[in-house]
């Protein structure tokens, strides 16, 4: 019986081992945005394809991701939305308990630009009524995979040349992949410099879903 109990804990520990690498956590966060090729994941995580493949293999062995092959490309996706929930829970717990993480986040985020304490349901209602513009600044393929209701896709690298598409008399709420993603922060800085009333929503699709809010897929 003692050996059986040890094996039970060992199996659970496989999940902990799989997500013990910072880069593997980053890959999980990227896959929260939708299915991606190994090459895309490597580029977005700023690592080699070989290293990305090795990390993805570990995640797959722990049944956290699945893969499929299409021609010469291998596509990876999360095994289930519960894996995204696991990432959000783990990151949130770390933010709550680790002062070092709190300080790191404070150093890169201007809290005056964030929507802190704002009811997410209210954002939905105001967006539906046209009272705010919800701006998804991730790559368009991530938007196509899943996005917040009433959101408009405008990738951050296209924002400067497409500013005319945004009304200046309506507040803009920008979001990207979550609290660790800086694309929305950059978008808010640009919009404010151009005279827009802009705010940073630190939630991404995974955080939004984890709150029990609807997501368009």
Q: Supply the residues annotated as catalytic.
A: 176
Burial class (CB in 10 A: 0-12, 13-18, 19+), 196: buried
Bridge partners of 66, per DSSP, are 77
Give the bridge partners for 36, in sequence order. 76
Rounded to whole angstroms, the Cα distance separating 175 from 182 reads: 9
Determine the Cα–Cα distance for residues 161 and 176; give it in Å rounded to an integer.
19
Q: Would you say 210 and 191 are in contact if contact means Cβ atoms under 8 Å apart?
A: no
Cα distance between residue 76 and residue 38, in whole Å:
7
Residue 203 structure tokens: 């939630």
By CB atoms closer than 10 A (0-12, 13-18, 19+), residue 87 is buried
């Amino acid at each position: 019986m003692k050996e059986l109990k040890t094996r039970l804990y060992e199996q659970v520990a496989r999940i902990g081992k799989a997500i013990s690498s910072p880069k593997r956590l980053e890959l999980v966060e990227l896959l929260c945005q939708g299915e991606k090729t190994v090459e895309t994941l490597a580029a977005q995580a700023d690592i080699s394809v070989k290293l990305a493949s090795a990390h993805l293999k570990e995640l797959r062995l722990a049944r956290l991701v699945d893969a499929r092959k299409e021609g010469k490309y291998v596509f990876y996706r999360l095994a289930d939305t519960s894996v995204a929930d696991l990432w959000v829970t783990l990151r949130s717990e770390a933010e709550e308990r680790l002062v070092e993480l709190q300080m790191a986040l404070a150093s890169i985020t201007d809290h005056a630009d964030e929507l802190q304490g704002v009811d997410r349901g209210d954002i939905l209602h105001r967006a539906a009524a046209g009272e705010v513009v919800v701006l998804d600044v991730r790559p368009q393929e991530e938007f196509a995979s899943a996005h917040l209701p009433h959101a408009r896709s405008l990738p951050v690298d296209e924002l400067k040349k497409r500013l005319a598409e945004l009304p200046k008399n309506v507040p803009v709420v920008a979001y990207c992949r979550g609290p660790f993603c800086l694309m929305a922060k950059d978008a808010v800085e640009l919009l404010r410099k151009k005279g827009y009333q802009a705010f940073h929503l630190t939630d991404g699709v995974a955080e939004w879903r984890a709150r029990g809010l609807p997501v368009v897929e």
